[in-house]
Amino acid sequence: MSISQVLPISRRQISIPQPVARLEAVSKSYGNVQALVNFTFDVRAGELVALLGPNGAGKTTAIKLLLGLARPTTGRVSVFGGDPASVATHTRVGAMMQVGRVPETLRVGEHIDLFSSYYPNPLPMAETLAIAGIENLRDRRFGLLSGGQKQRVLFALAICGNPDLFFLDEPTVGLDVEGRHMLWDEIRKLLALGKTIVLTTHYLEEADALANRIAVINKGSIIAQGTPSEIKSRTSGKKIRCVTQLGIPVIKNLADVLDVQAERDAMVIHTRNAENSLRALLSLDREVSGIEVTSAGLEEAFLALTRDRN
């Protein structure tokens, strides 16, 4: 642990020798489906750690375990050194979950008033509304809000108790670009207050914009972990699409090429360095046509990461 990670703890006069939350060799299966496999993960005080992965990777399962909503099949889960399901732990935790429907006839202010009452030291209502940016929605019924506004109210419910640790499960899902950026700003405000945040997302961009640390999850395991720049450097490949007479085995041996797939009449080439691969390609086949170069998306990033591991 670096000094910067220790500081927020001592400022809050809480001495916790172990990480604020920990999954220790946790496996979790639902029937035949293995949601998490021997999963070990620490959350350190004052950091924002993003669990990044595609749908079904096990992100939500990890959050449910940390909230005590699910029990591990094997392994150990602790939050603030205690049982994640206990009321005592929950008073120090705020959660934003993927909720299908919230009682729609209650007003925003009423929902916040009720959730605030569960906590020992809640924020004043005005402050909760201000941080979530929903001052003007206080008297509006939940059912009458837009999707983005609903998402902000759920965020307000997570912060209203002024907890130390936040679990935000895909907080910006369903938001437009503007809404997403506004919520990012609000999440950064929490971080500036010294809070610890665990966030799940399937947007590499979101993890990059917010996180101190990213854990990439696929099929229930962490396949890569590090700072956003470390992760990006491992996944900054490009994708070249072109029509060429060269066969797959030849292309595979070109400079920096990671993988090749035939897609109808074209070839899709994943490469570490588009310029190098293109130079090599053009020198071998002067008839190449329809060249498109795009950044590798998250999908390619996962491909690259899983390949690194094998």
Partner 1 sequence: MATAAATISSANLRRPNPFTIYLKEARYEFLKCLRVPMYSVSTIAMPIMFYVLFGLVMGRQMIGSVSATAYLIPAYGTFGVMGASLFGTAATLASERSMGWLQMKRASPMPPFAYFFAKIVMSMTFSTIDVMLLLLLGFTFGGVHLPAIVATKLALTLIAGSIPFCAMGLAIGYFAGPTSAPAVINLFYLPMSFCSGLWMPLMFLPKFIQHLAVFLPPYHLSQLAFRLIGAGNGQPNLGHWEALAGFTMICLGIAWVGHLRDQKANG
**Binding residues vs partner 1 (CB under 8 A):** 11-14, 28, 64-65, 67-71, 87, 90-93, 95, 97-103, 105-106, 110, 113-115, 117-121, 123, 127, 131, 141, 157, 161-162, 164, 167, 193-195
Q: How far is the CB of 119 from partner 1 (least distance, A)?
A: 6
Q: How far is the CB of 18 from partner 1 (least distance, A)?
A: 14
**Residue number, 64 or 238, with CB nearest to partner 1:** 64
- State both tokens at 32: 């035949």
Q: How far is the CB of 185 from partner 1 (least distance, A)?
A: 15
**Residue number, 105 or 283, with CB nearest to partner 1:** 105
**Residue number, 113 or 285, with CB nearest to partner 1:** 113
**Residue number, 138 or 241, with CB nearest to partner 1:** 138
**Residue number, 161 or 220, with CB nearest to partner 1:** 161
Q: How far is the CB of 305 from partner 1 (least distance, A)?
A: 28
Per-residue HEC secondary structure of the chain comes to CCHHHHHHHHHCCCCCCCCCEEEEEEEEEECCEEEEEEEEEEECCCCEEEEECCCCCCHHHHHHHHCCCCCCCEEEEEECCECCCCHHHHCCEEEECCCCCCCCCCEHHHHHHHHHHCCCCCCCHHHHHHHHCCHHHCCCEHHHCCHHHHHHHHHHHHHCCCCCEEEEECCCCCCCHHHHHHHHHHHHHHHHCCCEEEEEECCHHHHHHHCCEEEEEECCEEEEEECHHHHHHHHCCEEEEEECCCCHHHHHCCCCEEEEEEECCEEEEEECCHHHHHHHHHHHCCCCEEEEEEECCHHHHHHHHHHHHC
**Residue number, 195 or 270, with CB nearest to partner 1:** 195
Q: How far is the CB of 307 from partner 1 (least distance, A)?
A: 33
Q: How far is the CB of 62 from partner 1 (least distance, A)?
A: 11
**Residue number, 4 or 117, with CB nearest to partner 1:** 117
Q: How far is the CB of 101 from partner 1 (least distance, A)?
A: 4
